[in-house]
Structure 1
Amino acid sequence: MTVAEQAERARSASIVLAQASRARKDAALEAMADALAKAETAVLEANAEDVDRAEANGTSAALIDRLRLTPDRIAGMVDGLRQLAGLPDPVGDVVRGWTTAQGVEIRQVRVPFGVVGIIYEARPNVTADAGGICLKSGNAALLRGSSSAASSNAAVVVALQAGLIEADLPADAIQLVPGPREVTAELMAARGLVDVLIPRGGAGLIDTVVRNSQVPVIETGVGNCHLYVDASADQDMALAILVNAKVQRPSVCNAIETVLVHADAAPTFVPQALEALAGAGVTVHGDERVASYGTVVPATEDDFATEYLSLDIAAAVVDSLDDALAHIRRFSTGHSETIVTDSQRAAARFSAEVDAAAVLVNASSRFVDGGEFGFGAEIGISTQKLHARGPMGLPEMTSTKYVVTGSGQVRG
């Protein structure tokens, strides 16, 4: 089946979903969760094929960990679908409404996009998450996972489709788009058949989709995130935030990749930070001023531009808040930027001047997450400025239309 044929079937399914009640969609999510739980053995066997293939190809341990499924991870996918069933349905919400002087009622109402294409790498849990989020928001999903997780993704989609059929919704509401690399190009060219594309993965994937897609794209995820320790910072707080934001889960986009320390705080803070990071297994790529306080890997220009997604961090000493802001403006990917400070003036200026989807004051960047924000689910973290920015929950997976109701009024 061609991508165009799959998209046509998804379009037909999206018409059904757009009219489905919350109760019907929630019943489908519960049925999908049940079907995925029952398919655990088949999914694990399929995943073992992917992992064996990745190991044979010399894939890094970090990427294999992202690829690997376990009974606990499948249970998490099942729980995620059930949690979606408990969330409010954004479709039909009135964003705003008013009545004109002529008595015409105008309402701006949330509606599904229609057909959403999602292009993603490695993690097969995204297959269940994305399928469920699209369904809850009334969208049909075309899922283009990476070849490294082909067997796992196929097994998960079989289970999700079984749940849809059980709930009397079209199986074509969630489809896997298999095939060679050229298929991704076909998906990006499917303007008029696919309404929105969302890439989830590394910088290379996202850049390729943004540059080449003819379908509108919501850009997500690349996180070269910074932590700036101001001269006035509580250094114990700054150290705790630094270690949490780097170490708690280094392979995700909201982990920090660079720490900047004000020169006045550096003599006491940098030695503590180097010791704490070394104790957590973190390799520090430091500039000459950081190196004067301990052993580091000499930092290059590329180090400050790198999203490591590993136990590595770049570090520099800066002379002022101005210098920190200039560094962030140069290297930030617009994801999440953090300041630790006791100065309200510095916090206010940092918050106003930093151009990012999220700015944090005295808190770990690991909080920039749909679940932590209380959204209950997210499709990704948008780093663009149109439509949605930051964690994308269910409302961000909708568009709006205006419903205008009159009683025979005509324009004079």
Structure 2
Amino acid sequence: MTEKTAETKVEQAQNAALDLAKLSDDERREGLLSIADAIDERHEEILDANEKDVAAGQRMLEEGEYSQALVDRLKLSESKLESITEMVRSVADQADPLEKTLAARRLDEGLELYKVAVPIGVVGTVFESRPDALVQIAALSLKSGNAVILKGGSEASHSNRVLYEIIREATADLPDGWAQLIEAREDVDALLEMDDSIDLLMPRGSSAFVQYVQDNTSIPVLGHTEGICHVYVDDAADLEMAADVAYDAKVQYPAVCNAVETLLVHEDVAEEFLPGMVERYEDAGVELRGGDGVREVVTMDAATEGDWSTEYGDLVLSVKLVDSLDAAIDHVTTYGSKHTESIVTEDDDRASRFMRSLDSASVFHNASTRFADGYRFGLGAEVGISTGKIHARGPVGLEGLTTYKYHLEGDGHLVATYAGEDATPFRHEEMAADWTPGERSDE
């Protein structure tokens, strides 16, 4: 069989998107449950494929080509696969994001306008080493009625192929071609040129890669880039709580974008807080890098200017003392990536000022940055975390994969009726009504 080109795959996805958008929520939900069941039944096959990727990744790690964090993200396990199917079922059970009436307005008697949620169409995704990302993205795309082009990293190629085939076979009754897998690096450049066929691109990777995509396409781009996240321990913090939050934010899973990379500590609590915190981090194997003031209180390696703007993705943490809330805000504004920040304080006014002053997609009070996640937010899952401001921000779930169209229900209404000296005035009355073809509100 001749290998399909990227152009052919995108064309098939474009055709499938039209049919997918017409499916009922029950049909899309059944497809998702079939995916979950199929993954449950094929753990051994998936783990065998993943073992090849991890072994190759380990060799690249030993040669200095890969980081430990990347290899960690590659690994699947029985428990990880169970989490993946739990995620798929969670997406299936989310409320239908389509055909929701977002707004309704009576323009005149019998003339009613409805703003209705619809799929975006064809979504192109390029993502990093985590094989579970393929399943997350596919599940959210199906639930939201979008066809999807999936391009994973070569480091996870065996895992991605098996997972894709499972998804394709499990949804054989759905529009053919709704999910497509591409693997060649040159296919990414081909996708960037398909502005007439692809409606949204979602790259997940380094800032440099996302910038490359943005600079080389006219397709709208929803970028998922670095997470340079911060936890600020205020001088009004409950220090026991602060230690727990700061530990969880770094150690619970350091290889992800919502893990903390810089810990900011008010200088008035440094001597009380830092010695125990440092000991706890060191016991967990965290490499610490501190600013000048920090190293006057505890012993650790010196932080460089570059550390403040580095996403480690590993058990490495930079620590800095600040003399005020404003100084903490200034540091985050200067070095952060607008991903997720957290303040630990018992002073609600300071918490409010911190959260209002920062331009990050997620800002927390007395909680770990690791909560910045689509599943934990109750979105079912996420296709990525957007640090931009257009269309969607933070964890991008089902709502971020929809747009809207306007439906107008009339009864032979003419624009001429509302023009000229004797024009009938518009009523423009807001309604609380859902759109149903041919029906009008009884309000």
Give the TM bin, normalised by the shorter chain.
Answer: over 0.9
Match of 1:99 among 86, 98, 106: 106
Residues 227 and 259, structure 2, Cα contact 8 Å, conserved in 1: yes
CA apart distance, 1:313: 0.8
**8 A Cα contact 1:223 1:255, kept in partner:** yes
Write out per-residue CA displacement over residues 243-281 of structure 1, whole angstroms, 9 at most, x where no aligned residue.
Answer: 111111111111111111112222212223222222222
1: CA distance between counterparts of 2:364 and 2:243? 15
Q: Which residue of 1 aligns with 2:226?
A: 222
The alignment partner of 1:265 has SS state of: helix
1:34-113 paired onto structure 2 within 5 Å: 34-58=37-61, 59-101=66-108, 103-113=110-120
1:173 aligned to 2:178? yes
Q: Distance in 2 between matches of 1:44 and 1:272?
A: 40
Corresponding residue SS for 1:408: coil
Shift of 1:361: 1.2
Change (3 A) 1:47 1:190: same
Q: Cα offset for 1:343?
A: 2.0
Q: Is the 8 A contact 1:230 1:340 kept in 2?
A: yes
Q: Which has the larger radius of gyration?
A: 2
Which of residues 308, 332, 343 is equivalent to 1:304? Answer: 308
Distance 1:73 1:387 in 2: 31
- CA deviations over 1:201-246 (Å, ceiling 9, x no partner): 3334333323333321111242101111112222112111111111
Within a 5 Å distance, the mapping from 1:318-333 to structure 2 comes to 318-333=322-337
Counterpart among 137, 161, 165 of residue 154 in structure 1: 161
Q: CA deviation at 1:49?
A: 2.3
**Structure 2 CA distance for partners of 1:213 and 1:394, relative to 1, 3 Å:** same
Counterpart residue type for residue 81 of structure 1: V
Say whether 1:234 aligns with 2:238: yes
User: How far is 1:2 from its partner?
Assistant: 2.1
Partners of 1:102 and 1:409 within 8 A in 2: no
Pick the aligned partner of 2:405 from 392, 401, 406: 401
* Structure 1 residue 322: Cα displacement: 1.7
Note the 1:120-269 alignment, pairs <5 A: 120-165=127-172, 168-179=173-184, 181-269=185-273
Structure 1 SS opposite 2:363: strand
Partner amino acid, structure 1, of 2:312? Y
Structure 1 residue 102 displacement after superposition: 5.4
Aligned residue in 1 for 2:432: none
Q: What TM-score comes out, normalization by structure 1 length?
A: 0.95
Q: Report matched runs for 1:346-385 at 5 Å.
A: 346-385=350-389
Given that residues 337 and 359 in structure 1 are in contact (C-alpha distance below 8 angstroms), is that contact kept between their aligned partners in structure 2? Answer: yes
How far has the Cα of 1:134 moved from its partner?
Answer: 0.3
Distance in 2 separating the partners of 1:24 and 1:7:
23
Unmatched 5+ stretches in structure 2: 420-443
How far is 1:178 from its partner?
1.8
Q: Which residue of 1 aligns with 2:349?
A: 345
**How far apart are 1:36 and its partner, in Å?**
2.6
Counterpart Cα distance in 1 of 2:344 and 2:86? 35
- Which has the larger displacement, 71-80 or 351-360? 71-80
Cα deviation code 1:157-206 (max 9, x no counterpart)? 111111111xx112411110122x22111112211111101112333433
Q: Is the 8 A contact 2:70 2:255 kept in 1?
A: no
The runs of 4+ residues in structure 1 deviating greater than 4 Å are: none
Gaps of 5+ in 1: none
Q: Provide the secondary structure at the position in 2 that maps to 1:143.
A: strand
2:26 is matched with 23
Q: Pick which of 47-56 and 289-298 moved more.
A: 47-56
Equivalent residues of 1:131, 1:174 under 8 A apart: yes
**AA in 2 matched with 1:141:** V
Do the aligned residues in 1 keep the contact of 2:258 with 2:370 (CA within 8 Å)? yes
Range moving further from structure 2, 170-179 or 130-139: 170-179
Aligned residues of 1:337 and 1:358 also touching (Cα < 8 A):
yes
Instruction: Quote the sequence identity (%).
Output: 39
Partners of 1:353 and 1:191 in 2: CA distance = 37
Give the match's secondary structure for 2:30. Answer: helix
* Greater shift in the superposed pair: 82-91 or 291-300: 82-91
Secondary structure of the residue that 2:177 maps to in structure 1?
A: helix
Residue by residue over 1:20-77, the C-alpha shift from the partner in whole angstroms, topping out at 9 and shown as x without a partner, is: 0011111111222233333333322222222222223333333222112223322322
CA RMSD, aligned part only? 1.6
Partners of 2:175 and 2:53 in 1: CA distance: 28
Aligned to 2:183, the other structure's residue is in SS state coil
